[in-house]
Amino acid sequence: MTTQIQAPVKDLSSLRAQVEELDQHIISLLRARVCLAREIDQAKRETGQPVADHAQEAVVMRRATGFARQMELDPEMTREIYWKVVALCRPRQ
């Protein structure tokens, strides 16, 4: 009987460790995206282009929600998350 209780706990612990690893990877990817956004911002400034690009943001949203559908995730929830990601990547003025 104890074995039955310990096995799921061990599995739960392992699953939580995997979630933690994925969370670290997600944060690392967010950091990489922020760094790339800064490079894009700098390139736009150097070439005299406007920093804000609402058309490109719309492309990002369509791409993200389309991929979410392919991955069987809620596209509206994904859109909400991606607006936060875009906000995180916007230059601080």
pLDDT confidence bin for 93, thresholds 50/70/90: very low
Average pLDDT over residues 31-57: 94
Residues 86 and 30: their CA atoms lie apart, in Å, by 10
More confident residue, 4 or 21: 21
Average pLDDT over residues 19-35: 98
pTM passes above 0.85 = no
Residue 60 tokens, joined: 């990002």
pLDDT score of 46: 96
pLDDT score of 6: 59
Helix then strand then coil, in percent of the chain rounded to 5, is: 85, 0, 15
Instruction: Give all domains of the chain, ordered by start, each with its CATH number.
Output: 2-89 (1.20.59.10)
